[in-house]
């Protein structure tokens, strides 16, 4: 059992309009596959789960209908372990549902793995999404005599549907009635022991498609799970439900139970393209997922009122936060850059001295540590060896420790006393993109919570919560203009050296932009504070040196303007990223504008064009952007 207090106060799910996978699949953590046909279901479901493995998961399971019984097999760990379990305890039947879970709501464990069943074990559900009123429903269900066996929100669905089934025996009607009681999002597949060879699926906010085969029908959250069987698919829209058997499928509205016309589409991608959701690379997919991953990081955490930021267990550790006199962030790589931004925010909003340390340096430095210093590890993977060792050091010195982590149940999450999960979804591209923007968002939430504990005015917090709420849409606006960055990349292709400059909140963005470019395209790039340029880097500037300046209209803007003039005066080629459309086009050789927001949140917006720039230069130079040479996604050795 995880002994730390982590802020598992919600489960992320995609938002916004349903998108065809060709234009980007919403962020989903877990995978669903369902099958009904003439063949044994278990091997087909297992194969489908394997196809979903690339997304990352920590547990898996399946339910197969065997006559009038349901057979359930679940494991914590790999799909191979599920396979072994099925070999040891075989299951037989021609219809079933299966799931890979990436823990977000309750630790990775067998009891939290899907499928979940009702009290009698006659109905099984797999679910992606979040049931926002799960706590209330769970309590009500308990009072009505249901046995709840997991920590998940998903399990309530099985009990609710079973309860409705006593009033309305046909599964689809029971599902429809149950879903009307539910707040939140779902992509579900349901089977019932009493109705052999029938599967019901429904969707609100979590992608789900139906695959139409010959004498077989499938459902999946992701085309890669079924593409080897059929390319004829129907994408469920929000509010729709599919009822199917081996011979075909009917689509209905969940609320009215009225039939909807089938919109059959042909998928023409190969398996690898399907895994990437139709994108050329995982990195690009993850860049495009940012409106959803940011929304996921925020979901359930902005609650309005005087203290509008809710971070689950924050109150349990509020005392150490209140009495803290110093904060130290420790991290590596991109996470260290996010830490820099977090440090600026904590000092500005919570007025607490904060520093940021490379974990690899700090752990060997015999640092001065007092028990009132909070040490916060930032890590996408939660497994980076140096960050883990730095947290361990802090613990041994008696400091309260925190984690800002994407991977639930990871080593750093387990080692720290408490923390915040990003809920950004699995990140597969080696270069971190969506994790960075979610880290900045999570750090903002943390700084606001700390700020409120230390006297930050509610009006100020309100400005931030409004600005945070607007971020996903603003990132989407930038992504809608990605072609401009692609064209810019083509114009910059001839260069082998780049400088990236920024000041204030944009300084870490310059560092991150330069890191992205070198990681992905093997082009030499260095980031500096624009103010430091005159202490050395300015000697490098001539007409062959593109200088990317992150210059949004923030408190540093007037100063950065003069730094830009210094570059221009030496013949440098200025590529400007700004939120200020006026007055920069003459000074800049290239200008890309982002929407405006609060100074502290500008990094979320200005980093997106820099991610795209690195990506396109990398692709144009023929680099393997998802797996750059010599780099690893998770550096678990020193
Ligand atoms: C590796 C990755 C980077 C990442 C760094 C820290 O170097 O290639 O993208 O920023 O590790 O990883 P973490 O998982 O701790 O954030």
At residue 46, the pLDDT reads 96
Please choose, from the candidates 255, 246, 174, the residue with its C-alpha nearest in 3D space to the C-alpha of residue 210. Answer: 246
Mean pLDDT of 405-424: 87
**Number of neighbouring beta carbons within 10 Å of residue 183:** 11
Mean pLDDT of 506-529: 96
Taking the C-alpha atoms of residue 575 and residue 592, their distance in angstroms, rounded to an integer, is 8
**Residue 248 in tokens:** 């075909």
**How far does the centroid of ligand 1 lie from the alpha carbon of residue 382, in Å?**
9
Q: Is 432 in the pocket of ligand 1 (CB under 6 A)?
A: yes
Taking the C-alpha atoms of residue 232 and residue 64, their distance in angstroms, rounded to an integer, is 24
Taking the C-alpha atoms of residue 226 and residue 45, their distance in angstroms, rounded to an integer, is 9
Answer yes or no: are the C-beta atoms of 611 and 516 closer than 8 Å.
yes
Report the first-to-last Cα separation within the chain, whole angstroms. 28
**How far does the centroid of ligand 1 lie from the alpha carbon of residue 610, in Å?**
18
| pLDDT top residue among 313 and 296 | 296
Query: Exactly one of 11, 30, 76, 107 is catalytic; which is it?
Result: 30
Helices (H) and strands (E) in the chain, counts: 19, 26
* 633 given a catalytic annotation: yes
- Looking at 584-631, list the stretches that DSSP marks H as alpha helix, in order from N- to C-terminal side: 602-620
Q: Is 211 in the pocket of ligand 1 (CB under 6 A)?
A: no
Q: Which residue has the tokens 């950004």?
A: 424
Q: Which strands sit side by side in the sheet containing 524-529, from one edge to the other? A: 524-529, 497-502, 546-550, 573-578, 590-593
* 516 given a catalytic annotation: no
Query: Exactly one of 47, 395, 462, 633 is catalytic; which is it?
Result: 633
Assign residue 110 a region (left: φ > 0; alpha: ψ between -120 and 50; beta: otherwise): alpha
- Looking at 454-556, list the stretches that DSSP marks H as alpha helix, in order from N- to C-terminal side: 458-479, 482-492, 506-521
Confidence of residue 187 (pLDDT cuts 50, 70, 90): very high
Please choose, from the candidates 236, 184, 182, the residue with its C-alpha nearest in 3D space to the C-alpha of residue 34. Answer: 236
Report the residue count for the chain.
638
Please choose, from the candidates 159, 153, 58, 154, the residue with its C-alpha nearest in 3D space to the C-alpha of residue 109. Answer: 58
Helix 79-88 to helix 41-52 angle, to the nearest 10 degrees? 170
Residue 278 C-alpha from the chain's centroid: 18
Answer yes or no: are the C-beta atoms of 52 and 305 closer than 8 Å.
no
Q: Does the structure show a pLDDT above 60 at 123?
A: yes
Dump pLDDT digits (tens) for 358-390: 999 999 998 999 999 999 999 998 989 899 999
Answer yes or no: are the C-beta atoms of 175 and 241 closer than 8 Å.
yes
**Number of neighbouring beta carbons within 10 Å of residue 524:** 13
Phi, psi of 186 (to 5 degrees): -160, 150
Q: Which atom of ligand 1 is nearest to the CA of 430?
A: 8
**Residue 186 in tokens:** 């779902």
Taking the C-alpha atoms of residue 46 and residue 53, their distance in angstroms, rounded to an integer, is 11
Please choose, from the candidates 90, 157, 93, 89, the residue with its C-alpha nearest in 3D space to the C-alpha of residue 126. Answer: 157
> CA triplet 248, 251, 256: central angle to 5 degrees?
145
**pTM (two decimals):** 0.76
Q: Is 333 in the pocket of ligand 1 (CB under 6 A)?
A: yes
Q: Does the structure show a pLDDT above 60 at 2?
A: no
Q: Is 380 in the pocket of ligand 1 (CB under 6 A)?
A: yes
Q: Is 635 in the pocket of ligand 1 (CB under 6 A)?
A: yes
Mean pLDDT of 140-154: 95
At residue 4, the pLDDT reads 37
Phi, psi of 47 (to 5 degrees): -60, -45
Q: Is 387 in the pocket of ligand 1 (CB under 6 A)?
A: yes
If you take atom 13 of ligand 1, which residue's CA is the nearest one?
379
At residue 316, the pLDDT reads 63
Span of 11-20, 231-240, 286-295, 428-437 with lowest mean pLDDT:
11-20
At residue 20, the pLDDT reads 31
Taking the C-alpha atoms of residue 311 and residue 384, their distance in angstroms, rounded to an integer, is 24
At residue 29, the pLDDT reads 61
At residue 27, the pLDDT reads 43
Q: Does the structure show a pLDDT above 90 at 484?
A: yes
If you take atom 8 of ligand 1, which residue's CA is the nearest one?
633
**Number of neighbouring beta carbons within 10 Å of residue 507:** 25
Confidence of residue 318 (pLDDT cuts 50, 70, 90): confident
Q: Which residue has the tokens 């692709």?
A: 619
Q: Which atom of ligand 1 is nearest to the CA of 381?
A: 14
Q: Which of 56, 287, 330, 333 is the pocket-test mutation for ligand 1 (most atoms within 8 Å of CB)? A: 333
Q: Is 428 in the pocket of ligand 1 (CB under 6 A)?
A: no
At residue 315, the pLDDT reads 65
**Number of neighbouring beta carbons within 10 Å of residue 355:** 17
Taking the C-alpha atoms of residue 244 and residue 219, their distance in angstroms, rounded to an integer, is 9
Phi, psi of 278 (to 5 degrees): 90, -5
Share of the chain above pLDDT 70, in %: 94
Q: Is 444 in the pocket of ligand 1 (CB under 6 A)?
A: no
Assign residue 49 a region (left: φ > 0; alpha: ψ between -120 and 50; beta: otherwise): alpha
Task: Give the list of residues 6+ apart from residue 2 with CB closer than 8 angstroms, or none.
Answer: 107, 409, 413, 414
Find the radius of gyration of the CA atoms of the chain: 25
**How far does the centroid of ligand 1 lie from the alpha carbon of residue 634, in Å?**
6
Q: Which of 432, 436, 438 is the pocket-test mutation for ligand 1 (most atoms within 8 Å of CB)? A: 432
Q: Is 335 in the pocket of ligand 1 (CB under 6 A)?
A: yes
**How far does the centroid of ligand 1 lie from the alpha carbon of residue 292, in Å?**
21
Mean pLDDT of 335-346: 98
Q: Which of 287, 335, 433 is the pocket-test mutation for ligand 1 (most atoms within 8 Å of CB)? A: 335
Confidence of residue 206 (pLDDT cuts 50, 70, 90): confident
Mean pLDDT of 106-115: 90
**How far does the centroid of ligand 1 lie from the alpha carbon of residue 437, in Å?**
14
**How far does the centroid of ligand 1 lie from the alpha carbon of residue 215, in Å?**
46
**How far does the centroid of ligand 1 lie from the alpha carbon of residue 278, in Å?**
25
At residue 17, the pLDDT reads 25
Confidence of residue 23 (pLDDT cuts 50, 70, 90): very low
Q: Which atom of ligand 1 is nearest to the CA of 412?
A: 15
Bond prior to 518 in cis (omega within 30° of 0) = no
| pLDDT top residue among 135 and 256 | 135
């Amino acid at each position: 059992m995880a002994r730390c207090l982590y802020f598992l106060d919600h489960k992320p799910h995609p938002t916004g309009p349903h998108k065809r996978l060709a234009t980007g699949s919403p962020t989903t953590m877990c995978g669903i596959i369902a099958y009904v046909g003439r063949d044994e279901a278990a091997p087909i479901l297992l194969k489908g789960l394997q196809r979903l493995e690339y997304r990352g998961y920590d547990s898996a399971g399946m339910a197969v209908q065997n006559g009038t019984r349901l057979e359930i097999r679940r494991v914590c760990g790999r799909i191979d372990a599920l396979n072994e379990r099925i070999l040891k305890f075989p299951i037989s039947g021609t219809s079933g549902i299966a799931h890979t879970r990436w823990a977000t709501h309750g630790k990775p464990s067998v009891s939290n793995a899907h499928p979940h069943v009702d009290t009698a074990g006659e109905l099984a559900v797999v679910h992606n999404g979040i049931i926002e009123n799960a706590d209330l429903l769970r309590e009500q269900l308990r009072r009505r005599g249901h046995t709840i066996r997991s920590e998940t929100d998903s399990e309530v669905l099985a009990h609710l549907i079973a309860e409705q089934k006593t009033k309305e025996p046909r599964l689809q009607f029971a599902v429809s009635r149950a879903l009307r009681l539910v707040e939140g999002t779902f992509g579900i597949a349901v089977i019932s022991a009493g109705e052999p060879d029938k599967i019901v699926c429904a969707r609100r906010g979590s992608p789900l498609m139906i695959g139409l085969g010959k004498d077989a029908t499938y459902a999946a959250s992701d085309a890669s799970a079924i593409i080897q069987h059929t390319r004829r698919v129907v994408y469920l829209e929000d509010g729709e439900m599919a009822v199917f058997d081996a011979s075909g499928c009917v689509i209905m509205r969940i609320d009215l139970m009225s039939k909807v016309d089938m919109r059959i589409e042909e998928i023409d991608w190969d398996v690898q393209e399907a895994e990437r959701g139709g994108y050329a690379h995982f990195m690009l997919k993850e860049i495009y997922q940012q409106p959803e991953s940011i929304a996921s990081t925020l979901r359930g955490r902005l609650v309005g009122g005087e203290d509008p930021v809710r971070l689950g267990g924050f109150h349990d550790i509020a005392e150490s936060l209140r009495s803290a006199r110093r904060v130290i962030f420790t991290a590596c790589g991109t996470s260290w850059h996010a830490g820099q931004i977090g440090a600026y925010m904590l000092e500005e909003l919570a007025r607490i001295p904060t520093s940021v340390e490379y974990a690899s340096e700090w752990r060997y430095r015999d640092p001065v540590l007092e028990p009132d210093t909070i040490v916060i590890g930032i890590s996408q993977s939660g497994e980076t060896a140096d960050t883990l060792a730095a947290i361990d050091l802090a613990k041994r010195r008696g400091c309260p420790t925190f984690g800002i982590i994407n991977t639930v149940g990871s080593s750093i999450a387990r080692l720290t006393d408490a923390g915040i999960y990003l809920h950004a979804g699995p990140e597969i591209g080696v270069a971190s993109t969506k994790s960075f923007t979610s880290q900045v968002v999570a750090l903002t939430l943390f700084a606001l919570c700390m700020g409120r504990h230390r006297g930050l005015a509610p009006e100020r917090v309100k400005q931030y919560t409004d600005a945070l709420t607007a971020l996903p849409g603003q990132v989407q606006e930038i992504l809608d203009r990605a072609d401009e960055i692609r064209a810019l990349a083509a114009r910059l292709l001839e260069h082998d050296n780049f400088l990236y400059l920024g000041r204030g909140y944009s300084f870490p963005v310059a560092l991150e932009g330069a890191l992205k470019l070198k990681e992905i395209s093997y082009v030499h790039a260095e980031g500096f504070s624009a103010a430091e340029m005159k202490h050395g880097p300015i000697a490098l500037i001539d007409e062959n040196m593109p200088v990317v300046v992150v210059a949004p209209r923030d408190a540093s803007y007037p100063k950065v303007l003069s730094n830009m003039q210094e570059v221009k005066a030496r013949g440098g080629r200025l590529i400007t990223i700004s939120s200020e459309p006026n007055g920069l086009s003459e000074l800049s050789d290239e200008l890309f504008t982002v929407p405006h927001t609060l100074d502290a949140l500008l990094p979320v917006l200005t980093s997106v064009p820099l991610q795209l720039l690195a990506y396109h230069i990398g692709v144009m130079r023929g680099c393997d952007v998802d797996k750059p040479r010599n780099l690893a996604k998770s550096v678990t050795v020193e």
